[in-house]
Amino acid sequence: MSTKKWTKQDWENWRKWKDGRDPEAGQCLVLKYMSVVDYVVGRISLTLPDSITKDELKSWGLDGLLDAFDKFEPERGLQFETYARLRVKGAIIDELRRSDILPRSVREKARKIEEAYLQLEQEKQRSVTDQEVSQYLGISVHELRQTLADVSLSAMLSIDEVVYDEETQQMVRSTVLENSQADNPEQYVDEQWKKETLAHAIDRLPEKEKWVVSLAYFEELTLTEIAQLLNLSTSRISQLHSKALLRLKAALSKEQELICNP
């Protein structure tokens, strides 16, 4: 919900929280936005072992929500839910890293696969196959697909780091759909570039990966729901999801490098 649609009571709660951390106002805000935490937990939990409970994830996510309350600037009229999702997810990921759920080896695997997509697709000017990527990495297709399942959460975090805009407190993939206007001409041009770059990168994805991205991020379905819809296993959807995000990050990183080093 955009701040433009907030009620008078919403604004009053934000004012009380910002001015003096009023506990009653804080409780009202938590109740209003706890669904954001539930949403993020529901998505992240699909990629985690059973040893990590949803209650743990919610506790960490609540810390992220409180952090979002502190850092969000309501007067800018932006969408709080979008901003809060990133903070909630970031808080959960930080705790998972501290718990070694995302060890360095997993992040290193994700980096190597991303580099493979970047190098091969730059050479061939098309989306490359699992066989080509596995050959480049010196592993079997089976090992590649297992690795893609292992790095699913890392890939999710990785793409967020690329497409999140700290200046506007929004994720670029959301603004692709929202088509919001920027506050000044320079910012507007920058936003347009990000939208066009991401849209072009998504359009170049293989068909199944494009469907997964569209259903996961634009229709906001879980990986399990996507699996049922596409009549594929959840593990296969997880692989497609990882591949899509790593391809997108590689494409976006390449475009950013070209701008910084023309």
Domain containing residue 86: CATH number: 1.10.1740.10
Q: What are phi and psi of 170, to 5 degrees?
A: -140, 160
34 and 48 part of one domain: yes
Give CA–CA dist 52/41, Å, rounded.
11
Predicted TM-score (pTM) of the model is 0.62
Query: Is the pLDDT higher at 231 or at 82?
Result: 231
Same structural domain for residues 120 and 82? no
- Exposure letters 131-140 (e unless 16+ CB within 10 A, then b): ebbbbbbeee
233 with 137, same domain? yes
Which whole number is the average pLDDT over 178-184? 43
Residue 7 Cα distances to 13, 33, 71, 81, angstroms:
10, 15, 21, 16
Supply the DSSP string of 203-240, one letter for each residue.
HTS-HHHHHHHIIIIIS---HHHHHHHHT--HHHHHHH
| Total Cβ atoms within 10 A of residue 79 | 20
3-state SS class at 182: coil
The reported pLDDT for the residue numbered 139 is 92
In this structure, the answer to whether residues 5 and 31 fall within a common structural domain is: yes
Q: Are residues 139 and 260 in the same domain?
A: yes
Domain termination residue (choose one: 56, 74, 101)? 101
pLDDT of 99: 77
- C-beta atoms surrounding 111 within 10 Å: 15
- Which range marks the domain in which residue 86 is found? 1-101
192 and 239 belong to one structural domain: yes
Query: Does residue 5 sit in the same domain as residue 107?
Result: no
209: pLDDT confidence band, cut at 50, 70 and 90? very high
Assign residue 143 the CATH number of its domain. 1.20.140.160
pLDDT tens across 6-44, in order? 788 888 988 888 888 888 988 999 999 999 999 889 878
Residues 12 and 130 in one domain: no
Report how far residue 180's alpha carbon sits from residue 150's, in angstroms, rounded to the nearest whole number. Answer: 35
- How many domains is the chain partitioned into structurally? 2
Query: How many angstroms separate the CA atoms of 246 and 156, rounded?
Result: 9
**Average pLDDT of the chain, as a whole number:** 79
User: Do both 254 and 200 map to the same domain?
Assistant: yes
Highest mean pLDDT among 57-61, 142-146, 199-203: 57-61
Question: Do the Cβ atoms of 210 and 199 come closer than 8 Å?
Answer: no
Q: Tell whether 110 and 234 lie within a shared domain.
A: yes
Q: Which has the higher per-residue pLDDT, 51 or 28?
A: 28
The verdict on 96 and 112 lying in the same domain is no
Q: Quick one: pLDDT band at residue 120, thresholds 50, 70, 90? A: very high
Residue 261: per-residue pLDDT: 56
Are 59 and 111 found together in one domain?
Answer: no
* Residue 170: strand pairing partners: 165
Given 69, 101, 133, which residue is the final one in a domain? 101
Last residue of a domain, one of 64, 82, 101: 101
Residues 109-127: what's their mean pLDDT?
A: 89
- Cβ burial of 96 (10 Å; 0-12, 13-18, 19+) is buried
Q: Which two tokens stand for residue 176?
A: 């692709």
Q: Please identify which residue in the block is written with the tokens 């805000």.
A: 29
CA atoms within 13 A on the CB side of 225: 11
